[in-house]
Amino acid sequence: MANQKKENSSKKNPCKVITGVVRFSYLYATMPHASDETQTPKYSVSLIIPKTDTETVSAINAAVEAAISEGKSKLCGKGKTLPPRQLLKLPLRDGDLEREDDPVYAGAFFLNASSPNKPGIVGADCKPIMDESEIYSGMYGRASITFFAFNKSGNRGIAAGLNNLMKCRDGERLAGGASAEEDFAEFAEETVAGESTASAADDQVLSDGEPPF
């Protein structure tokens, strides 16, 4: 049934892809972000796609081709023919070549997807995630993206629009981020011991009627 729904969805829009499990980097899914003041803030994510996930890579390549076909008039501009592929900006990029100094991108492709609209975010149970602290760069999940043609300021190519996200599992936080549990894990036993001492002191106060000092 799930495969049938996926096939029906792709038939409705050949430019749309539901990825396999990928890693989310530079994730701005709860609040829009802009790199500088000249840009319009958008919700965005960089999808790190293992090269071993050939099904997702093939689906993306097919969707990009469909977007090129559907956006031919926009890509051609005033010309009558499509520009050479090497002149088009295409979304799927090679992490081993463009991010060779970053081990997170080793053995992976990546693409950036964005939208002016806030994406829906669900957990593995398909229920909305209400706690925004559970949404962070480094987690793993699936993404719903739609490819489209653009021709702006002399740049022509295919971009990815961000629709929705599904969190499948946790992962090590990227960009130096850490959870509260990770930050204070080494103090957990110390805190527990401190609470035990405080509790014993309280008991003594109750039994003696005066503080133990």
pLDDT score at 7 = 47
Number of H helices, E strands in the chain: 6, 8
Model confidence at 10: pLDDT above 80? no
DSSP 8-state symbol, 78: T
Which residue is it, tokens 């038939």?
11
Q: Are 163 and 146 in contact (CB under 8 A)?
A: yes
3-class secondary structure, 181: helix
Mean pLDDT confidence for 150-165: 94
The tokens for 198 are 């405080």
Written as six digits, the tokens of 80 are 């009558």
Spatial separation of the C-alpha atoms in residues 166 and 126, rounded to whole Å: 7
| CATH superfamily for domain 2-174 | Nucleic acid-binding proteins (2.40.50.140)
Half-sphere exposure of 29 (CA within 13 A, CB side): 34
Comparing CA positions, the residue from 162, 115, 140 lying closest to residue 22 is 140
Left, alpha or beta for 178 (phi > 0: left; psi -120 to 50: alpha)?
Answer: beta
Q: Are 56 and 17 in contact (CB under 8 A)?
A: yes
For residue 85, the number of C-alpha atoms closer than 13 Å in the C-beta half-sphere is: 6
- pLDDT per residue over 88-126, tens digit each? 999 999 999 999 999 999 999 999 999 999 999 999 999
Higher-pLDDT residue of 94, 211: 94
Determine the 3-state secondary structure of 190 from DSSP: helix
Give the start-to-end residue ranges of the domains of the chain.
2-174, 178-213
- Say how many CA atoms lie within 13 Å of 174 toward its Cβ: 22
Q: Among 8-12, 25-29, 49-53, 88-92, name the one with the lowest average pLDDT.
A: 8-12
Share of the chain above pLDDT 90, in %: 66
